Structure 1
Amino acid sequence: MVIEWLTFAVDPQNRETFIRLDNDIWTAALSQYPGFISKEVWISPDLHDQVVFMVRWQTREQWKSIPQAELDAVERRFDEAVEFDYRMIDAREYQVRRYPSPR
């Protein structure tokens, strides 16, 4: 499994709208692709101006096989829907490793 980790800066008064629009547009689009497992939204009680998205993919190959033109189209739809400023402040990729627990 691969994790796509994205952190965004958004004004606290727009945070819930940002999360809702992301779900309606980005999550709805990504969930149609093979390899998409799930997406979580993380918000901190201390960092009111940040939103973290953690997307789980079965494989990196499935995630990266989404055509760039399709991602660009989703990004345009999202940007047209969002009527306030936001910016990505971090993007990371993690591999999930699991080992059997010793008994």
Structure 2
Amino acid sequence: MVIKLLKFKVAPNLREDFIQKQAQIWTTVLAEYSKFIAKEVGISPNDHKEFILIIRWATLEPWKAIPQAHLQTIEDKFIPALGESDPIVESAEYQVRKFPHL
């Protein structure tokens, strides 16, 4: 399994609306892909502007195989719903490793 981690900074009064729109627009589309597993939200207890999205995929290939034009179409739908540009401040990909129990 792989995870895509996205970190955002959004004004605290806009955070919940942003998260809901993320779920309505992005998660709905990603869920159409067979290797999409889940998306989770993590809220920073120390910085009320900051939160992360953890997007889980069975493998990295399905995420990378989404055509850029399709991603742009989704983003073009998301930005007007949000009223501003997507405030991603960090993006990373991780391979989930499982270790045998000792």
What is the TM-score of this pair, normalised by structure 1?
Answer: 0.94
| Secondary structure class of the residue paired with 1:100 | coil
User: Does 2:55 match 1:55?
Assistant: yes
Name the residue aligned to 1:38: 38
CA shift for structure 1 position 83:
2.0
CA shift for structure 1 position 34:
2.1
Q: 5+ residue gaps in structure 1?
A: none
RMSD: 1.1
List, as ranges, runs of 4+ consecutive aligned residues in structure 1 with deviation greater than 6 Å.
none
C-alpha distance after superposition, 1:57-99 (max 9, x if no partner): 0011111111111100000000010124651100000000102
Name the residue aligned to 1:72: 72
**Identity of matched residues, %:** 44
C-alpha distance after superposition, 1:9-41 (max 9, x if no partner): 100000000000000000111111121000000
Cα contact 1:9–1:86 (8 A) shared by 2: no
Cα distance in structure 2, aligned partners of 1:28 and 1:77: 13
Cα distance in structure 2, aligned partners of 1:53 and 1:20: 12
Cα distance in structure 1, aligned partners of 2:56 and 2:34: 12
Q: Number of residues paired by the alignment? A: 102
Name the residue aligned to 1:11: 11
C-alpha distance after superposition, 1:31-56 (max 9, x if no partner): 11121000000001211001200000
Cα distance in structure 2, aligned partners of 1:28 and 1:86: 17
